[in-house]
A and B are shown apart, each in its own frame.
Chain A
């Protein structure tokens, strides 16, 4: 049976390739989006634990955590709570570096634990000057920065005081200003994006999060990467987009497989009639057609997995968002792509297989 399925698929190579390609595109899109989502989750994990914090407080209901606006007074109020050990305010500036739009600039309290966590590789930790900046080692390597050099942020030139490494991808791909300098640069005096919190020993993250959100209405506490994704409109949008694309891939792919197999039935009517004549039960003939549909889609799915993995990496590079998102391919992501591919074959094979079971051998042999 397998040999017959294989030879039948090879008999019309162009049709097999085109149908499988259609399925491959759908599966590749799903795999790429899933790897983006996983990458976003990884990115979000970094946002949650900025400067090694336990959790971050953001404005509730914003499209994206980086768009959050909190009043400066909140830092002191949070610091006064019993479950909190230390707090530090942060102001995030997106697209602040013209020569690398993906780099994030962090406005940080020079005496806060975020600034303290930066390991200096060159120069000094001088955040007090209004016109000085610290550059992450990745950004430094990319823009050939060194202590004493200049870095332009939003049209203003800043002297690079030192090069740091923190171990967090987008911290190392960005730069750090003093909070006051960042507020001046963005015209957001008295505001910050987030408050990073270190909890007191023995305090559970979930209970602290609940307690803070209840004490400060209008804020949201993000302690898990999944929460960051949910909080951000981009993550939600991608999750919804995946669902829509899965449904579209299933409909288009299944229709394509059904159409291909229906054409094959019409063309091979006499052959199928012969199988029935020589004693193949209708179910077995249907299995042959069904198997061809599934084999076709597995072929497409396999190609789709490959294209998806390669394509996701290429797309991130093309869009220049590698700082925010690094596609992360997981076995479960690939498995879901494969499942969709197989589902396409199963759904697309049902109707043609059913049609074969209704075929009269006599009519099929006569080709009418």
Chain B
């Protein structure tokens, strides 16, 4: 597998609201290529919204978000730009229940119009990478929680993203499984060199990240101590 370079992320004075609720207020953040940043904060502090805006899933009300110098949501084909640059891992695996593990990993490649044989080979290679080659034909319902999340990680990496956004990827897992999934994420990050933004309450994530950013009420408070669950 070729090693994609990490993407530079610049967030400048970003504001985002939902109705009368202000989710993000003048948030600014600079992430260097290949850097691992842990984002912490209480529930409702705007962590997931920040991640979604960085990933181009919505546009900010004000401010600018640039990934390697380009605003994803402003591209003529935002979905394509997202596919080429970003990989997502969510708290719940969000696998398609009716598709096998392999087919789930292939899904982003279908979006890009890749040929079937190429898709299969790439998906199997990724499943091998996450230690699930022997489970390729299993449905999500036949996999454990940790295995599903590993499939989700493989799916996030299938397009060789330069930026991996993980939104509480271990939030629904027990501590042992969480540790394994985090090991996998950090190993892959070290191997592939992509930039990793990871929202987590897990103290061990902060310990492994290059730095930790804390969000409080939609604002970044660098001076505040990281908020982890004990």
Contact = CB atoms under 8 A, between A and B. Distances in A.
Asked if A and B bind, the verdict is yes
Contacts of B90: 365
A281 B57 contact: no
Contacts of B80: 279, 281
Determine the interface band of chain B, counting residues with CB < 8 A from chain A.
Answer: 20 to 34
A266 interface: no
Contacts of A279: 79-80, 82-84, 108, 111-112, 159
B12 to A, nearest CB: 20
B98 A10 contact: yes
Contacts of A8: 98
B111 A360 contact: no
A85 B89 CA distance: 90
Nearest to A271: B96
B111 A278 contact: yes
Contacts of A271: 94, 96
Contacts of A365: 52, 57, 90, 94
B88 interface: yes
Nearest to A280: B111
A32 B111 CA distance: 42
Contact of B88 (A278, A281, A282, A360): A278
Contacts of B112: 279
Given A7-B98, A10-B98, A11-B98, A1 B110 contact: yes
A271 B104 CA distance: 11
Nearest to A283: B79
A280 B80 CA distance: 7
Interface string B174-189: 0000000000000000
A360 B52 CA distance: 11
Interface in B83-100: 83-84, 88, 90, 94, 96-99
B118 to A, nearest CB: 15
Contacts of A1: 110
A284 B82 CA distance: 15
B133 to A, nearest CB: 21
A281 B108 CA distance: 10
A3 interface: yes
Contact of A275 (B58, B84, B111, B156): B111
Interface in A1-18: 1, 3-4, 7-8, 10-11
B65 to A, nearest CB: 14
A284 B112 CA distance: 10
Contact of A7 (B79, B94, B99, B108): B99
Contact of B103 (A3, A282, A361, A362): A3
B44 to A, nearest CB: 13
B94 A274 contact: yes
B98 A276 contact: no
Most chain B CB within a 10 A radius of its CB, from A11, A270, A271, A278: A278
Contact of B99 (A4, A270, A280, A284): A4
Contact of A278 (B52, B77, B99, B107): B107
B94 A270 contact: yes
A214 interface: no
A277 interface: yes
Contacts of B99: 3-4, 7
The 6 A-B residue pairs with the shortest CB-CB distance, nearest first, are A279-B83, A280-B111, A7-B98, A278-B108, A362-B58, A362-B57
Given A277-B57, A281-B80, 4 more contacts: A1-B110, A276-B79, A279-B79, A281-B111
